[in-house]
Amino acid sequence: MKLSVIVPTFNEAPNIQELVQRTTTACLGIEAELIFVDDSTDSTPATIQHAAVNSTLPVRMIHRDHPSGGLSGAVIEGITASDAEYCLVMDGDLQHPPEMIPVLLSQLESTASDVALASRYCGEGGSNAGLSGTYRRMVSASATLVTRSLFPVRLKDCSDPMTGFFAIRKSSIDMTALQPSGFKILLEILSRQRLKIVEVPFIFGRRSAGTSKASIGQGLHFIRQVGELRMGRIGLFAVVGAIGTLLNLLIMTALLFLDVHYVVAAIAAAEITILSNFLMQEKLVFNGALHRAASTHKRFLQSVGFNNAEALLRLPVLVLLVEMLLINSVLAQAGTLAAAFGLRYLFHTKVVYLARPRIKPLPDDVIPADPIPTRLALETVSPSRP
């Protein structure tokens, strides 16, 4: 197999039939297949199955009942399932024109590049006009500018690291180096490896059916993804810790201004920031690890319990610094918080968010001794092209 076209889908039923038809036409003369990695909660799986039966292009579907890693995880699962020499990734909403599939493949083959991407910002033919509204276009352009400035070396030949329309030479990509999370998988691939890139301008089309998946939550995922790629998880943890420390000191200062004793003020500030830090850790630092970690209830008890114990141990040190060394109580509080940073990070990475073994349930009609992988039992395959 030369090419696998990988399409992650989430509730895209109205677009499936046209996408399969246009992809089939675009792939004439190419030994290709179409792989849907579907996380849908609507009729999309049934629509894919119907389209597969009537397609001359081989179509497979991997339906994920318990998806992990977001859109990036879906793309990685599709690439992993492929045995083709090249993999091409595109959205299922038809804003990425299937007619460009042979163009991207040709660029990979003729230039010996590792990645060929369709860019909205290179050459005279690129455009992001398909984004709905000036606001979304500004957000997209700003995110691209920020991302390129954060990775000036790895992205020096890439004008559109945020695009979801690209092709890769599979043998060039170290899949074990990827840590998929969020929805910008190309950024994950390019920032973790040195790859030769070729770009092709394209016009980002308008959505004809379905609804956009863009949201504030996706924006937070993007911030977390960029932060982790640039600084690593410990860097994100440090940022959250710095925000929590600032909040802690502001609360303590306000209480001292109200004539609250510094010990009481320190305890109150600690309790409030312990809760806020847990919420920020869940959303910004360890979000991509939640599906492999313990339950939310257990994570909460472990994190809050440890931080309360650590705060209790810091309290005598605070009293010693204030009473014996006559250090300002707010400065002393800041010092004790900074000193305990490493211990907090180790506990949360090695205990609270430690990955648990994944146990996948077998289908009802498969006995435990059956050697067929569960994922293959969920695939739907259309007849091969005659």
Q: How far apart are CA 322 and CA 328, in angstroms?
A: 6
Which residues contact residue 123 at a Cβ distance below 8 angstroms, ignoring those fewer than 6 apart?
199, 201
Between strands 59-63 and 379-381, the pairing is antiparallel
Bridge partners for 166 per DSSP: 89, 117
Q: Three-class SS string for the chain?
A: CCEEEEEEECCCHHHHHHHHHHHHHHCCCCCEEEEEEECCCCCHHHHHHHHHHCCCCCEEEEECCCCCCHHHHHHHHHHHHCCCCEEEECCCCCCCCHHHHHHHHHHHHHHCCCEEEEECCCCCCCECCCCCHHHHHHHHHHHHHHHHHHCCCCCCCCCCCCCCCEEEEHHHCCHHHCCCCCCCHHHHHHHHCCCCEEEEECECCCCCCCCCCCCHHHHHHHHHHHHHHHHHHHHHHHHHHHHHHHHHHHHHHHHHHCCCCHHHHHHHHHHHHHHHHHHHHHHHHCHHHHHHCCCHHHHHHHHHHHHHHHHHHHHHHHHHHHHCCCCCHHHHHHHHHHHCHHHHHHHHHHHHCCCCCCCCCCCCCCCCCCCCCHHHHCEEECCCCC
At 155, give phi and psi (nearest 5°).
Answer: -110, 20
Contact between 112 and 46 (Cβ < 8 Å):
no
Other C-beta atoms closer than 10 Å to the C-beta of 371 total 5
Tens of pLDDT along the chain (386 residues) come to 999 999 999 888 999 999 999 999 999 999 999 999 999 888 999 999 999 998 999 999 999 887 676 778 889 899 999 999 999 999 988 889 999 999 999 999 998 899 999 998 886 666 666 555 566 667 667 777 777 777 777 778 888 888 889 999 999 988 877 776 656 788 888 888 888 999 999 888 765 655 555 555 555 666 666 666 666 678 778 888 888 999 999 999 999 999 999 999 999 999 999 999 999 898 878 877 787 888 999 999 999 999 999 999 999 999 999 999 999 999 999 999 988 888 998 999 999 998 776 555 444 444 444 333 334 334 544 444 44
Q: How far apart are CA 206 and CA 93, in angstroms?
A: 9
Q: How far apart are CA 180 and CA 281, in angstroms?
A: 18
Length of the chain: 386
29 dihedral zone (left: phi>0; alpha: psi -120 to 50; beta): left
Q: How far apart are CA 82 and CA 95, in angstroms?
A: 24
What is the set of domains in the chain, with CATH numbers? Answer: 3-212 (3.90.550.10), 219-351 (no CATH)
Q: What tokens does 339 get?
A: 């000193």
Looking at residue 377, its pLDDT comes to 38
Q: What tokens does 343 get?
A: 């211990």
Which one-letter amino acid corresponds to residue 105?
Answer: L
Q: How far apart are the first and last CA of the chain?
A: 15
Q: What tokens does 67 get?
A: 């998806």
Looking at residue 266, its pLDDT comes to 95
Which residues contact residue 335 at a Cβ distance below 8 angstroms, ignoring those fewer than 6 apart?
321, 327
The pTM assigned to this predicted structure is 0.63
Burial zone of 287 (CB within 10 Å; 0-12 exposed, 13-18 middle, 19+ buried):
buried
Looking at residue 371, its pLDDT comes to 39
